[in-house]
Amino acid sequence: MGSGQSAFLDGLQIAEGEQPIYRQLVDAISGRIASGELQAGARLPPQRDIARALGINLTTVTRALTVLQQQGLVKARPGHGTIVAAQRGDDQGFQSAPSDDADTVDLS
């Protein structure tokens, strides 16, 4: 794992509680993106590395990254990994509210 990838995992913690683990991971990563700690183009560690470092299931990491992708915060390309997506500014017009409900269809 490269130094940028290990920095990604620094201080990232998952706590037992009422909130699902995948949701905690979504919140932790989206918070780092919002704060500027993770910049557009930053490469996230491989899913297996994240799962191993946090002691969680690979499927949980995959679900969290899928939600982040649906929210437009990250982009995943097979063979290239997952990177932080460029964020649109407020002057870009309407943007749908994020949803991790797979059955929701945005008709805006």
Three-state secondary structure readout of the chain: CCHHHHHHHCCCCCCCCCCCHHHHHHHHHHHHHHHCCCCCCCECCCHHHHHHHHCCCHHHHHHHHHHHHHCCCEEEECCCEEEECCCCCHHHCCCCCCCCCCCCCCCC
User: What predicted TM-score, i.e. pTM, was given to this entire model?
Assistant: 0.74
pLDDT of residue 9: 77
pLDDT of residue 98: 62
- Give the max Cα distance, the chain: 42
Backbone phi and psi for residue 22, each to the nearest 5 degrees, phi listed first: -60, -35
What is the residue-level pLDDT of the chain in tens, covering all 108 positions?
A: 455 556 777 888 787 778 999 999 999 999 999 999 999 999 999 999 999 999 999 999 999 999 999 999 999 988 889 999 997 654 445 555 666 666 666 665
pLDDT of residue 90: 41
pLDDT of residue 47: 95
Instruction: Using the structure block, give the residue that is written with the tokens 């460029």.
Output: 86
